[in-house]
Amino acid sequence: MTRLLIVDDHATFRSFARRLLVASGFEVVGEAAGGTDAVRLAAELGPDVVLLDVQLPDVDGFQVARSLRHLIVVLVSSRARSDYGSLVDTCGARGFIGKAELSGDALRRLL
């Protein structure tokens, strides 16, 4: 079972993503509301995948992705991928999923 860390500053989205992805067969090992906590929890919990919001209150999501290059990072955002230009491709993330398109199948396609 793939172990996930969900990182988003909105508790409602974290809860939604947890329910959706657990129902799709993923194991959620932790949640973080910011980039600093994400880096710390990734080191402590050892997830297989980090589902990472691009817009965080404390640290830019692309910067967090660069810090977590040793893990599979999938970026999520309510904005379109094209809004971020080449940042998605150069930060080391495996891919990008719009929040409205998040599903277990969409995540599996990137793994």
Please compute the mean of the pLDDT values over residues 65-90 and round it to a whole number.
90
pLDDT in tens, 36-64: 999 999 999 999 999 999 999 999 999 99
Q: Which two tokens stand for residue 110?
A: 């990137």
Q: What is the pLDDT of residue 89?
A: 85
Length of the chain: 111
> For residue 57, how far is the Cα from the chain centroid?
15
How many distinct structural domains can be found in the chain? 1
- What is the sign, positive or negative, of the torsion defined by CA atoms of 11, 107, 41, 91? negative
- CATH number for the domain spanning 23: value is 3.40.50.2300
The pLDDT of residue 24 is above 80: yes
Whole-prediction pTM: 0.94
**Structural domain span for residue 77:** 3-110
